[in-house]
Amino acid sequence: MCGIVGYIGKKNAVPILMDGLSSLEYRGYDSAGIAAMDKGQLCMSKRAGKLKILAECLKKNPVKGAIGIGHTRWATHGEPNEINSHPHYSCKSDFVIVHNGIIENHHELREKLKKEGHKFRSQTDTEVVVHLIEKLYKGNLLKAVCAAIRQLHGSFALGVISTHHPDMLVAARKDSPLIVGVGKGENYIASDVPAILKYTREVIYLDNNEVAVLTRDKVALYNTKEAPIKKKTAKIKWDSASAEKAGYPHFMIKEINEQPQVLKTILNHRIKGNRVVFEKFNISEAKLKKINNIQIVACGTAYHAGLCGKYILEKLLRLPINVDTSSEFRYRDQIITKGRTLIIVVSQSGETADTLASLREAKKKGAVVASICNVVGSSIARESDGVIYTLAGPEIAVASTKAYTAQLTTFYLLGIYLGRIYGTVSDKATKKLLGELAKVPGLMTQSLKEHKKVKKVADQYIRRYDYRLAEQLMFLGDEIWRFKDPKKALAFAQQCAKKSHSAYGKRFGDFPFLYLGRNVNYPSALEGALKLKEITYISAEGYAAGEMKHGPIALIDEFPLVVCITPQSAVYEKMLSNIKEIRARKGVVLSVATEGDKEIRKKEYSDYVIEIPKIDEFFSPLLVALPLQLLSYYIAVGLKCDVDQPRNLAKSVTVE
């Protein structure tokens, strides 16, 4: 979490830093700050809240300098106020630092430094680093930074500047991502590529325990013992336009709409004739043939893709497949057989702390590690024995959409690829499976054309609950229905609520969503619920429909909305039975069903229906995902939520 950026060159650093931070805001947006140095004078500006608050402040009180560092924060240690915002100064304000990560031994370092007379201003773990550098500085900034980080436990990506070295920016990393951008007469650091892509395509991916010293004309790299090292620069192939909104109001809706194209790209790259090809997937067939069990590990949406991956691989490989969230997996007494267990880690960012730790743990125990990753050159990609990139392009919205369907597609392809090696997927089966997959991009496009129908359902939902809420708040059912417009009814109720009732803040708290699905669409139910709660703050639960009777049925009355994922499938009848049970308890049902399904449209089953095109059940999660993403999106927009940057979340969770 947190995004850092740095610049050294001839231009004013501040607009470049602010620009970089705006593309890193997905990493955290609790507070933001920058520091720049002009003629040896350090100047800093930081504010609690989003970057735009800092931008306003900089308009009134400009800061300038040809060298600078910036930070956008997702708070871990210390509340997200101005004092705890980065950058942080040393006692004499001659060193200034930005940090992403967690310094685990900050407490003991702080106590020690305090005893030695250092004065702390914030409650952050980061501040110890700048005091440590101040303490260890003997005229050489590189030496001081190296000496300081040798004392740190935990994770860090750091940017440091000092008045003693007005032409130098020092950066270092361990377990938090950091890249160096190499320009002409100017150089950059950033947590992620989009932050600097407007300025350069030449980047160096720093590895753990590497330190970079940037001047205007040079980037020199060292290990933490100050010994010089050499690394190649990589050229970024995608352009900055793919990290911009391209006319859409939000990144999320842009990314939802990109899915047909993403799938086409994946299939074009990965299918050659009747074969699945993963170029540069460095795990040999001989190694893969020895595998007798598979463990999938991931977090969040990637975990849901992994769960679906279990259904896919089980069917295609006939091997025992286990799936776990990374935070559980890393601390379990896992059963890993050397050379026999294949771990598949799934991660959009390739930097999620728990997933990375799971990968390392599994490697230590002798597992073969493959990863399904979106961000090229990320830590997970680099540390895996073999990586399959999902080719989804940069995903900016915090709620993952196109990365999810790209991960699912990769699982189908991986299943076919491994199935050929294990002899469980024949030539004929491959042809059939690839044929079905090839239809998906077109069906996705068809499905997205119906987005207005999903919006209508979202609007109806909001309308219905605005009335309900107004009614509840008034405690006077009839009174509220005299308003023709539910918004007016709600406004009136709110007014009354302010006077007599404080429940308005609990908006929607009483109207949860329940998502139900079976078989391959059980993970779709979990993902649907996650999408909704992430961006609308409405409580939502995903459940295996067969488990409904073991708890969630107690929630059912006329208030919750039950989203039933019911495409034509082997479990269709079972889903209908579940719906009947819900209806018998006055439950409100939104069915996601196959186009042309007349049965499900009957009032005895559904209040609302969203259709998906006809597709083989096995591949249906790829299509089911889209209307569920759209439903969350339109409800969030209708409720005026911050779609791309929902509260408390961050796109890349680089702390445990």
Provide the binding-site residues for ligand G6P, judged by CB under 6 A: 299-302, 347-349, 352, 355, 398, 400, 649, 651-653
In the complex with ligand G6P, the residue whose CB is nearer, 9 or 394, is 394
Nearest to 642 by CA among 115, 3, 51: 51
Min. distance of Cβ 653 from ligand G6P in angstroms?
A: 5
- Residue 372 CA, chain-centre distance (Å), reads 14
C-alpha distances (whole Å) from 344 to each of 164, 386, 388, 415, 520 are 48, 10, 10, 12, 18
Min. distance of Cβ 372 from ligand G6P in angstroms?
A: 9
In the complex with ligand G6P, the residue whose CB is nearer, 199 or 303, is 303
Min. distance of Cβ 71 from ligand G6P in angstroms?
A: 19
In the complex with ligand G6P, the residue whose CB is nearer, 299 or 540, is 299
The b-or-e profile of 495-515 (16+ CB within 10 A means b, else e) is ebbeeeeeeeeebbeebbbbb
Phi, psi of 139 (to 5 degrees): 100, -5
* Count of beta carbons in the 10 Å neighbourhood of residue 317: 20
* Count of beta carbons in the 10 Å neighbourhood of residue 448: 17
Residue nearest to ligand G6P (CB): 300
The amino acid occupying position 337 is: T
In the complex with ligand G6P, the residue whose CB is nearer, 132 or 178, is 178
Residue 463 corresponds to which tokens in the numbers above? 């309308």
C-alpha distances (whole Å) from 236 to each of 373, 386, 644 are 16, 20, 25
User: How far is Cα 486 from Cα 465, in angstroms, rounded to an integer?
Assistant: 9
In the complex with ligand G6P, the residue whose CB is nearer, 257 or 400, is 400
User: How far is Cα 184 from Cα 496, in angstroms, rounded to an integer?
Assistant: 63
Min. distance of Cβ 530 from ligand G6P in angstroms?
A: 8
Min. distance of Cβ 459 from ligand G6P in angstroms?
A: 26
User: How far is Cα 605 from Cα 580, in angstroms, rounded to an integer?
Assistant: 7
In the complex with ligand G6P, the residue whose CB is nearer, 73 or 651, is 651
SS3 labels along 87-111: CEECCCCCEEEEEECCECCHHHHHH
Min. distance of Cβ 485 from ligand G6P in angstroms?
A: 36
The runs of H, that is alpha helices, within 537-603 are: 572-583, 598-601
In the complex with ligand G6P, the residue whose CB is nearer, 302 or 588, is 302
CA end-to-end span of the chain:
10
Min. distance of Cβ 350 from ligand G6P in angstroms?
A: 7
Residues assigned a catalytic role: 2, 651
